[in-house]
Structure 1
């Protein structure tokens, strides 16, 4: 089973004998490589959630990958700080997920995301009605004199009401920090277009991106709000992120420096192969389908966040069973470590590290999903959750490989200059593939590069052989 996770990533790649006599023809394999698009492994979900996703596909023509990724992220956000997972003594993590849905305009990214987030937004609207009454009473108290308060049997001191929420849609970091302060359970940053969040990075003080790098780890940090000279300390911040983008924006949003500093690898990316607009369906979906999703989310939110006497969050901590821990350790050795050792690319190595982090978090999310929907134990991570999490982690690895040609467009000039400099005036396909691997450039990108004439710098000389063009002539 372990070899499956290595081989399934490039199922169309021909074997290369140790003698190196095989000659790859990019025109022969490029189409297969570029069309290889995995499907979200629905078997990681309990039947209750899987049935909802399949119903949305059947009646609403929602893309399964977009719906599944949205449901996964929203469920994790509903969990927030309520649960944590302990893999090792010094490794205690929470289900923080950064997710981006990638697709062309009008391909159907937004509707699944809206349906997934809807229950949390509905709960927030209920919170808002309570808050409006509380803030109205506070302002009324504030306008009273001490005698009037005494006459109306009101307290001498009254705390300012806080706005509870699960979802933040404001694009500013300051608004997000305020929401995190007021909601120790945690929040979901929800952006239909993720660019509305990323475009604000470094707009004011040059540090927004750094805060989101830290928020991913959930480590404590301080924030100063210059608008009112307020200093906020967040001992246990929880913030998940979900939004959509288009393939043409990926290089700007996640390429270049953001591939190298680990920002890009913090985002799980879902980029299914979609070649036509979603169809309309004449059959109405049963009314109770979405109600079932809301019921599941309300069950998760219904678990009260525990705090100590000083107000510090105390998560329900799940350890790994010995069997689950052995399975995860075997995956690390046979898959993650192998991937890391096989490349010199800092971007690929950063991805290996972040996928290890996500594997542990996904074990927790899947275990709680199974507990909420199927009644299994929510006290320990079992082997079934570990197996499902590994399957899901490898799906996201394959998605990253599918998306890497789009990301690399922001880095191609420098790396392809270095690549061509490492090759002779004439070279074979196997030679450029070998040098590309050293630089962390994917096979799919090389096949595109060769087929398109290397941006005008190379030409095909014979079957499987290319030569550089002397631009000085």
Structure 2
């Protein structure tokens, strides 16, 4: 099977005659590669930690780097924000959701365990401090206790939690937490498991808000209201491809899935039994320092948000135009991927804030994010994260919605070589094609048009619309056409043999 890089996939063509020098029909059977971890783009400590520790563990370095970035995002106080544009109030905090996608053999859980160890250590220290403060508070006499404030249990992590438990934690943790989900399919499934459709909608709304941050109020009958000053959750979890397909197929398409940035893990190998490398301690010290950061200062008195310098702002503005074009281009092929790309403006700003804080010194980052930082983040986003997103949405979920029907229709076109097709003709194809209704068949043909396979023929009535099959399809996929014809011949033989056996019986 051929493997394509994302740059080989043309944007869906406009509905007009295609030029002779276009990119040609897209291969819907192609697999999409995901690149290894690039060099020189990540903050040096993160890159060294990912490469050295990945070799020690026998895991994918890109997965370990992404997990470490999620940990750093959760460690940075949510009060540190980046002003995205110069002349409006759009702010982004260093908050990201990472999904490690792979089979159990890719060692997702060991990656998560290793990357989160420093954050868990800080969380344990926070718990011990809370227990001591609570004991002192409980020991107060009645009168002093009236004027004393009860200690708050500040947390840095959640694990496999319900939203009710998360609300209790987050009301005392305004700087955000890291939600750890060893298996994200369980997290998605729990939204429907406990409370039915209405409850599931509330759960999803809660998590959607937690990605954005901000105030949140919980109204509880008989138990009083809960005010959450800042509902902020970073996410790190693993998921296997097959459960993910079911999640994507069953879930409400409200954008929750698209907020995760997926990392498709490469194969694992045998690790090394050697002393812990020094960079692991350097990474732990980094997470500890990030947790203690304060807002940047203007001059020496006023705390201010982060801002892009002039060069970084220009890069951000260019990317906004690029992301808009990318999302519009992918809309005809894969709406889920297009919606994911729609998050890239915010993700770029969040990653810039993370890079900037990691590479800062002292307990306050400088107030300006430099052009070099923005350039490296842009390259990381488009040369690493975006190819992983394509590999995830194309190979794991299917390059297009109802990709099974699209492949069946494409195979039928190659085997039968009709000069043109209609909704009615494709609905007379194989079992998968016959199961489509008119709307689904129309959508499949529209996507084959976007893939460069078909050319719409203008008609007076939409219900009689035709598509001409582009001649290049049969030229480029001649070998596939032979395979498809042979496959269909064998299927017919099997059916005929079964019929003869039934008659003989």
Q: What's the TM-score, normalizing by structure 2? A: 0.72
Map 1:102-181 → 2, pairs under 5 A? 102-141=101-140, 146=142, 154-181=144-171
Q: How is 1:87-102 mapped onto 2 (pairs within 5 angstroms)?
A: 87-88=84-85, 89-102=88-101
Note if 1:56 corresponds to 2:47.
no
1:452 match: none
Greater relative CO, 1 or 2 (CA 8 Å, sep 6+): 1
* 2:269 alignment partner, one of 278, 288, 311: 278
Question: Is 1:47 equivalent to 2:48 in the alignment?
Answer: no
Which digits, 9 at most, give the CA deviation of each residue in 1:252-280, with x for residues without a partner?
2234544x321211110000332xx4303
1:34-433 to 2 correspondences below 5 Å = 34=31, 36-88=33-85, 89-141=88-140, 146=142, 154-202=144-192, 203-204=194-195, 205-206=199-200, 207-225=202-220, 229-258=223-252, 260-274=253-267, 277-286=268-277, 288-304=278-294, 316-334=304-322, 336-341=324-329, 343-344=331-332, 345-372=334-361, 378-394=366-382, 395-404=384-393, 405-408=395-398, 412=402, 416=406, 426-427=416-417
Offset at 1:305? Answer: 7.0
Query: Which whole-Å deviations, capped at 9, do the CAs of 1:418-470 have from their partners, x for residues lacking one?
Result: 967x97994589999x9869449997xxxxxxxxxxxxxxx975489999999
Q: Are 1:254 and 1:263, in contact at CA under 8 Å, matched by a contact in 2?
A: no
Native 8 Å contact 2:323 2:341 kept in 1: no
- 1:436 and 1:20 mapped to 2: Cα distance? 25
Q: Residues 461 and 296 from structure 1, CA distance in 2 versus in 1: closer, same or farther, beyond 3 angstroms?
A: closer
**SS of 2:71's equivalent?**
helix
Are 1:255 and 1:408, in contact at CA under 8 Å, matched by a contact in 2?
A: no
Quickly say closer, same or farther: Cα 1:49–1:341, change in 2 above 3 A: closer
Contact 1:319 1:381 in 2 (8 A): yes
| 1:197–1:334 CA distance, 2 compared to 1 (3 A) | closer
CA distance in 2, matches of 1:440, 1:173: 42
Q: Please give the alpha-carbon distance, in whole angstroms, between the structure 2 residues aligned to 1:114 and 1:423.
A: 49
State the aligned residue count: 423
Give the structure 1 partner of residue 474 of structure 2: none
Cα separation, 1, equivalents of 2:343 and 2:148: 45
CA distance in 1, matches of 2:246, 2:58: 30
Structure 1 residue 122: deviation in Å? 0.6
Offset of residue 247 of structure 1: 0.9
Compared CA separation, residues 372 and 356, structure 1 to 2 (3 A): same
CA shift in 2, pair 1:221/1:438, >3 Å: farther
**SS at 1:81 equivalent:** coil
Name 1:454's counterpart in structure 2: none
Q: Given the superposition, is the C-alpha separation of residues 343 and 35 from structure 1 closer, same or farther in structure 2, using an over 3 Å criterion?
A: closer
Deviation for aligned residue 1:235 = 3.9
SS at match of 1:199: helix
Q: Which has the larger radius of gyration?
A: 2
Q: How far off is 1:354 after superposition?
A: 0.9
Kept in 2: contact 1:53–1:64 (CA 8 A): yes
Whole-angstrom distance in 2 between the partners of 1:103 and 1:224:
39
Pair 10,73 (structure 1): closer, same or farther in 2 beyond 3 Å: same
Change (3 A) 1:424 1:349: same
Q: Check 1:158–1:265 CA distance in 2 against 1; reply closer, same or farther (3 A cut).
A: same
Whole-angstrom distance in 2 between the partners of 1:437 and 1:87: 40
Q: Deviations over 1:231-257 (max 9, x none)?
A: 123343221111111111111223454
Q: Distance in 2 between matches of 1:223 and 1:23?
A: 54
Go from structure 1 to structure 2 and tell me whether the alpha carbon gap of 1:238 and 1:24 turns closer, same or farther (over 3 Å shift): closer
**What's the counterpart of residue 447 of structure 1?**
none
Residue 183 (structure 1) shift:
1.0
Counterpart-to-counterpart distance in 1, 2:446 and 2:324:
18
Deviation at 1:91, TM superposition (A): 1.3
Q: Give the Cα–Cα distance (whole angstroms) in 1 for the partners of residues 171 and 364 of structure 2.
A: 33
By how many angstroms is 1:184 displaced? 1.1
Change in CA separation of 1:24 and 1:199 when aligned onto 2, cut-off 3 Å:
closer
- Partner residue, 1:309: none
Partner of 1:18: 19
Q: CA deviation at 1:328?
A: 1.9
Rate the CA distance shift 1:131–1:356 in 2: closer, same or farther, 3 A: same
Moved more, 120-129 or 66-75: 120-129
Structure 2 CA distance for aligned equivalents of residues 118 and 429 of structure 1 = 61
